[in-house]
Amino acid sequence: MEFYRSHVLVCGGSPCVAAGCRAVRDEIERCVKEQGLDREVRVIETGCLGPCDLGPIVVVYPEGIVYSHVTTGAAREIVGEHLVKGRPVKRLQYVGELPAVSTADDKRTDYFQIQKRVVLDNVGIIDPESIEEYIARDGYQAAGTVLTKLSPEDVIDTIKRSGLRGRGGAAFPTGLKLGFTARAEADQKYIICNADEGEPGTFKDRLILEGDPHKVIEGMIIMGYAVGATRGYIYIRGEYYVSIERVERAINQARWLGLLGTNLFGSGFDFDIEVKKGAGAYVCGEETALIESIEGKRGEPRQKPPYPGTSGLWGKPTVVNNVETIANIPPIILHGADWYRSLGTSTSPGTKVFTLTGNVNNKGLIEVPMGTTLREVVNANTHLWGALLSESGRWHTIEPRQIGVVDRIGGGDAFVGGLLYAILRGWKPEKWAQFGWATGALVVTLLMVIKTIADLVVMNPRPREGGLRRKFDFGM
């Protein structure tokens, strides 16, 4: 095993790839080799580090120094100054904090104080293209425990006791879903990972697959053993090129080590996974339409019942869960149902991953315990125009400025002021945790809509006939 004095992590999430991170990575590697440091410095393309609008992002260990908006020219400067002379380039440093970055004293800092990482625990820390690095962080230990020490009934019971609910929309208890398929009698059963992520502004599942694909594979192995399925499919949107590339590489690595295929862990259990690429149809995010697509048919929802748990892919019992749900399975097995129940709320334990976009301070990924209010998330991400809501339900603002709002034109301030209020006030933690499984993108997108409406009103101050114009201190 080789040891290096420095590790340079280049964020390889899709937003950073689009921003040119691979050219930055290549330039760092070239400069490192040119300086004769290739035996001392290792360059790694990792998963999403969180703030997707700051890319390309580079982190240098052991110091844990973060550089943002790195160009190829900046890459040369980082190598020449930081890696050669030991002088960090202060003008390029990102002054915020990232959840995936540990400082030199190995104390984890938080992107937001409210974060708790379970699903994203490895994202931005390991090389997602290295199965060895995943194994080094207890990867496949949960699968090994399940296949050598637990019965299928024990696995399902653990998931039931954990209280895990599906993270794809319906919030159906995952343990119950597994139980339905386990009880169904058939010569073949399937596990399907739904990675057809079509909601506007949402990219959490994509970045989970890009940053930690082996966790999803391990979760599918455990689910397959629990219900008696020997075949799995990961249905990924066709335009998620990086996700597809990394998942397929991860599957091949797992096969090479005997973690997929036949007789896993010497248990006699067989399980293998295949990637299916979607064609971009939004409707295929619905489980039965997705199943139709895998079968080679037009992606259209089926009439229910029967449900996939008893009659799914090719008429066989099938468990369909989304990426985030499946990624929760290995940590639950590894740490126990009681540990998982200690997170979140009594009726909806665990965490929820959100993608934050729009006019916010930190765009990207955030993972918070269930029960965290949308007000807290907005409060933690508010830009200068952001509106806040107090516990009593009254509006508060930061850096407020007066804007004109026209009554009786599309609702005026009743619409602009009431929309976000209704969302924040109506989605109480328990209801949100159980039923409101929208992504964080919904909150911030609505904030952007509200701001856009307000800006349009300000730019066009002439009210329609009969309209009234007055000032409203909304803080946007």
Q: For 129-173, write each residue's pLDDT tens digit.
A: 999 999 999 999 999 999 999 999 999 999 999 999 998 877 899
What are 109's two structure tokens?
């800092």
Mean pLDDT throughout 397-415?
A: 30
Name the amino acid, one letter, at 166: G
Q: Is the pLDDT of residue 181 over 90?
A: yes
As to burial, measured by CB atoms within 10 angstroms (0-12 exposed, 13-18 middle, 19+ buried), residue 265 is middle
As to burial, measured by CB atoms within 10 angstroms (0-12 exposed, 13-18 middle, 19+ buried), residue 113 is exposed
- 43-47, 91-95, 362-366, 402-406: lowest mean pLDDT where? 402-406
What are 169's two structure tokens?
């929309």
Q: Specify the 3-state DSSP secondary structure of 364.
A: strand
Q: Is the pLDDT of residue 106 over 70?
A: no
94 vs 122, more confident: 122
Q: Can you tell me the distance from the alpha carbon of 349 to that of 371, in angstroms, rounded to the nearest whole number?
A: 9
What is the pLDDT, as a whole number, of residue 85? 87
Q: Identify the band that residue 123 occupies on the pLDDT scale cut at 50, 70 and 90.
A: confident
Top mean pLDDT of 327-341, 356-370, 387-401, 430-444 is at 327-341
- What percentage of residues in the chain have a pLDDT greater than 90? 45
What is the pLDDT, as a whole number, of residue 202? 78
Q: Is the pLDDT of residue 392 over 60?
A: no
Phi, psi of 29 (to 5 degrees): -60, -40
Phi, psi of 378 (to 5 degrees): -65, -45
Q: Indicate the pairing of strand 58-61 with strand 65-67.
A: antiparallel
From 362, 452, 439, select the one nearest 53 (Cα to Cα). Answer: 362
Q: Indicate the pairing of strand 387-389 with strand 395-397.
A: antiparallel
Q: Identify the band that residue 38 occupies on the pLDDT scale cut at 50, 70 and 90.
A: confident
What is the pLDDT, as a whole number, of residue 136? 93
Q: Identify the band that residue 368 occupies on the pLDDT scale cut at 50, 70 and 90.
A: confident
Q: Can you tell me the distance from the alpha carbon of 384 to that of 417, in angstroms, rounded to the nearest whole number?
A: 17
Q: Can you tell me the distance from the alpha carbon of 216 to that of 326, in angstroms, rounded to the nearest whole number?
A: 6
Residues 6+ apart with CB under 8 A from 86: none
Q: Identify the band that residue 209 occupies on the pLDDT scale cut at 50, 70 and 90.
A: very high
Q: Identify the band that residue 308 occupies on the pLDDT scale cut at 50, 70 and 90.
A: very high
What is the pLDDT, as a whole number, of residue 381? 54
Average pLDDT of the chain to the nearest whole number: 78
What is the pLDDT, as a whole number, of residue 49? 78
What is the pLDDT, as a whole number, of residue 82? 92
Q: Specify the 3-state DSSP secondary structure of 133.
A: helix
Alpha-carbon dihedral sign for residues 215, 218, 223, 226: negative
Q: Percent helix, strand and coil across the chain, each rounded to 5?
A: 40, 15, 40
**Cβ neighbours, 10 Å, residue 312:** 25
Q: Is the pLDDT of residue 105 over 70?
A: no
pLDDT in tens, 414-450: 333 333 333 333 333 344 334 334 443 444 444 444 4
What is the pLDDT, as a whole number, of residue 393? 43
Q: Identify the band that residue 1 occupies on the pLDDT scale cut at 50, 70 and 90.
A: low
Q: Is the pLDDT of residue 52 over 80?
A: no
Q: Is the pLDDT of residue 78 over 50?
A: yes
Q: Identify the band that residue 373 occupies on the pLDDT scale cut at 50, 70 and 90.
A: confident
What angle do helix axes 374-381 and 412-426 make, rounded to 10 degrees?
Answer: 120
What is the pLDDT, as a whole number, of residue 269? 97
As to burial, measured by CB atoms within 10 angstroms (0-12 exposed, 13-18 middle, 19+ buried), residue 188 is middle
What is the pLDDT, as a whole number, of residue 445? 46
What is the pLDDT, as a whole number, of residue 426? 35
Q: Can you tell me the distance from the alpha carbon of 229 to that of 313, in angstroms, rounded to the nearest whole number?
A: 12
Q: Identify the band that residue 358 occupies on the pLDDT scale cut at 50, 70 and 90.
A: low
- 223-232, 348-357, 466-475: lowest mean pLDDT where? 466-475
63 vs 139, more confident: 139
Alpha-carbon dihedral sign for residues 410, 412, 416, 421: negative
What is the pLDDT, as a whole number, of residue 260? 97
What is the pLDDT, as a whole number, of residue 98? 63
Phi, psi of 362 (to 5 degrees): -125, 100
Torsion angle of C-alpha atoms 227, 216, 196, 186, degrees rounded to 10: -10
Phi, psi of 65 (to 5 degrees): -85, 130
Q: How many degrees, rounded to 5, is the angle at CA 415 between CA 411 and CA 418?
A: 145
Q: Identify the band that residue 126 occupies on the pLDDT scale cut at 50, 70 and 90.
A: confident
What angle do helix axes 374-381 and 440-459 make, rounded to 10 degrees?
Answer: 60
Alpha-carbon dihedral sign for residues 450, 427, 320, 211: positive
From 61, 75, 88, select the one nearest 27 (Cα to Cα). Answer: 75
Q: Specify the 3-state DSSP secondary structure of 232.
A: strand
Phi, psi of 41 (to 5 degrees): -125, 130
What are 1's two structure tokens?
């095993």
Alpha-carbon distance values, 224 to 314, 349, 419 (Å): 17, 23, 43
Question: Are 7 and 29 within 8 A, CB to CB?
Answer: no
Residues 6+ apart with CB under 8 A from 376: 114, 368
Q: Indicate the pairing of strand 65-67 with strand 190-195.
A: unpaired
Mean pLDDT throughout 288-308?
A: 93
- What percentage of residues in the chain have a pLDDT greater than 70? 73
